[in-house]
Chain A
Amino acid sequence: MALLVDIVMSGLISGSVFALLAIGFSLIFGVARIVNIAHTAFYMVAAYCIYFATHKLGLHPLWSMVAAIILVTLLGIISYKLFINPIREHHGAVLIATIALAMAFQEVMGLIFTGSYLSVPKLIKGYHVILGVKVFYQQLLTFGAALLILGGLWLLLMRTKLGLAVRSTAQDREVANLMGINEARVAMMTMGLSVGLAAFTGAVVVPLTVLEPHMWMHPLIMMMAVVVLGGLGSLKGSFLGAYILGFAEAMVVFLAPMGAFLKGSVALSIMILVLLIRPEGLFGVSFEEER
């Protein structure tokens, strides 16, 4: 039973983290067809911002998080304006540019904070014992905050005018123009939203993890696996796929502790298996190129 609690908690947390990352990644891909490899690098930068603000500036962790999310969102919009927007129609170039961006962030963080492992204090301390397993309040907070933000995002997309513009542009950007939607501006705002989500993920996850300049790589691979598993461009698919892979990882780690290093491979194997049966992913839409 204790094992079950461990698996559920760990699965829920990694699932939520993957869901936040994958949905942000899917959003900007859906709206502007940008494959943003630097997505999780923004998540890393946010985590370092929080470390800097709490340890070097002495800010309360909560304020550090708010500051980090705002700063990284701005950084995302600036990067979009400078590096991505000018080459937006060259999909291959965008891919390469975002890889370069991610590496640049990695190196800059390495230079400033060195490559050593760092950590950030938990927002709330303490734990509750369920069936002999310590469940830290921070874990529950991370999970709760993730769900809250996903709920908020859903409301934003489904109930507001900006959401309508984002969804319309993702469906057909040419026709979106005809509705009076400035698709270039929507793309920029979606980039802000997407990077904001990555920053938020970094903020809620940083107390549970260690900081180092390569911390963006594993989430990147998992996030891409989630997106492909769920179906490119489908937010619902990303959400479900995230928890599937989150639980798969947790099960490997807790059921076969000796094989914990295999957690990534198991998750990716699940993705490959699903793709063999459903090449478009769980909720994939077959893209119809419009001209």
Chain B
Amino acid sequence: MLLEVANLSVWYDKAMLINHLSMGVDTGELVCLVGPNGAGKSTLLRAITGLVAWEREITRRSTHGEIALEGTVTFDGERIDKIPAHEIVKRGLILCPERRRPFREMTVIDNLMAGSYLLKDKNEIQQNLGKAYQLFSVLKDRSNQISGTLSGGEQQMLAIGRALMSRPKLLCIDEPSTGLAPLLRTEVFQKIGEISKLGITVLLIEQEVSTVFKLSTRNYVLSSGKIIAEGTGDQLLQDEVLRKTYLGL
């Protein structure tokens, strides 16, 4: 397994957001996490990529409550749950965060360059930039535009492009379709499919089950911080209760 999460629990103050959760992603897969709001999907990705641990360090030094984290996360054969977030990226695991979050006052090209911050080789950076432009041609046309002025769809392309600049092995994307018009959603999903075909493993959070199940190789259904079902889209859709209660279909 490329990514293996074992017995992971996360508490924010007294609230247990992730409850002894275990899951895994194999190389080449496109795995989708679905589930209702507040199920812990984003928290799971944040825990995997080290952001929960980072936030815990910050809250420890402030008065804003307490965060606790238990369990293990293994990536590419190495335990990463004790490694700081900025070191995890080096190992090829990156998160494209919720609400896209580009560096709003920086240009598109600067955003992309920040994505390849850790790479030293100029040729490699140029190569990655070429690939990102090939995938998202709109970014090339707007490379000198301030990213805060891009449309929502373009910002999403930028956020994914920026994440790809670090040449990840595993790309986690948190709700890429939120707030986008239907046509743009289709385009974003199509791009994610293309990324997966490039050989990059993808772990995706998405609410729009009908579209994403056609794309994914495997899915996890999350509820109250636990995995309550796992399988391909077709398998999950056969379960009447699951369909009605958790997938909203």
B90, B106, B114 pick with most chain A CB within 10 angstroms? B114
Closest residue of chain B to A177 (Cβ to Cβ) is B85
Contact pick for B95, options A89, A90, A168, A178, CB 8 Å: A178
Contact yes or no, B58 A89, CB < 8 A? yes
Please judge, given known A-B contacts A175-B101, A179-B89, whether A164 and B94 are in contact too, CB under 8 Å.
no
B228 within 8 A of A: no
Closest residue of chain B to A185 (Cβ to Cβ) is B86
B151 within 8 A of A: no
State the Cβ distance, B49 to closest chain A Cβ, in Å: 7
User: For window 168-189 of chain A, which residues contact chain B by CB distance below 8 Å?
Assistant: 168, 171-172, 174-183
Q: Which residues of A contact B95 (CB under 8 A)?
A: 178
Contact yes or no, B101 A86, CB < 8 A? no
Q: Which residues of B contact A214 (CB under 8 A)?
A: none
Please judge, given known A-B contacts A87-B61, A177-B85, whether A171 and B54 are in contact too, CB under 8 Å.
no
- Give A167 to B111 CA distance when docked, in angstroms: 10
Contact yes or no, B101 A172, CB < 8 A? yes
Closest residue of chain A to B54 (Cβ to Cβ) is A177
B29 within 8 A of A: no
Q: Count how many pairs of residues, one from A and one from B, have CB atoms less than 8 Å apart in the complex.
A: 79
Contact yes or no, B115 A171, CB < 8 A? no
Contact yes or no, A171 B63, CB < 8 A? no
Closest residue of chain A to B50 (Cβ to Cβ) is A177
Contact yes or no, B101 A179, CB < 8 A? no
Please judge, given known A-B contacts A178-B49, A180-B90, whether A168 and B62 are in contact too, CB under 8 Å.
no
A285 within 8 A of B: yes
Please judge, given known A-B contacts A180-B86, A183-B86, whether A86 and B114 are in contact too, CB under 8 Å.
no
Please judge, given known A-B contacts A167-B103, A168-B114, A171-B103, whether A180 and B166 are in contact too, CB under 8 Å.
yes
- Give A86 to B58 CA distance when docked, in angstroms: 10
Contact pick for B115, options A161, A179, A285, CB 8 Å: A179
Can you list 9 A-B contacts with CB-CB less than 8 angstroms, sorted by A residue number? A88-B61, A89-B59, A164-B117, A167-B106, A174-B54, A178-B51, A179-B89, A180-B87, A180-B118
- Name B residues whose Cβ lies closer than 8 Å to a Cβ of A: 49-51, 54-55, 58-59, 61-64, 84-87, 89-90, 94-95, 97, 101, 103-106, 110, 113-115, 117-118, 162-163, 166
Q: Top 4 closest A-B pairs, CB basis?
A: A89-B62, A180-B89, A180-B118, A171-B103
